[in-house]
Amino acid sequence: MRRDNIFFKCKGPYSKTHICPKKELHILTVINRYDVEILDEGDAAVDVTMNTDQVELSLNVFLGIDTPTTTKLMGVFGNVGAVVMIDSGATHNFVSPRVVEAKKLQLATDMRFQVLLGTGVTVEALGVCRGITFSLQDNFFQSDFVSLELGNVDVVLGCSGCAVWESV
């Protein structure tokens, strides 16, 4: 287009001092590894809906406080003893980084996401440990765990864990 003395953006006549009459601002934003483009008024919008689960952990569990909806007991992850809290209000299973390091668990960091705490604060999980075998009161189970600093407990078994525990 330059050889035809026409500007590419506005199709106006080319000159060194040319100022486009229609100024545009193009923004590309990256949120949680997904590109979101801000479109111009004339551009057609594309509606992309993503199915994302909200991951939540109650304040009482985060602080390690017993409530009527929680139960604390001792569990074993490999040869590592751990304080386990069963919480019907937690959406997922969580494990502290201390247990991940002590047992040398494989931590998949490619799937990092936000966890909403009971305080209303959102924190980033460190990753996911898949297929972890553990025992509670001489019963063995296997489940996936989200690694997150938990405060006064080592492991939280949420309601998703209650539904999908597999005896080993």
What pTM value is reported for the model? Answer: 0.57
Q: Which domains does the chain have, with CATH numbers?
A: 2-38 (no CATH), 55-167 (2.40.70.10)
Predicted confidence (pLDDT) at residue 35 exceeds the cutoff of 50: no
User: Rounded to 5 degrees, what are φ and ψ at 32?
Assistant: 50, 45
pLDDT (tens digit per residue) in 105-123: 888 887 667 777 766 677 7
pLDDT at 46 (0 to 100): 41
Q: Give the helix/strand (H/E) hosting 101.
A: helix 97-103
Q: Quick one: average pLDDT of 16-45?
A: 51
CA 132 – CA 147 distance, rounded (Å): 12
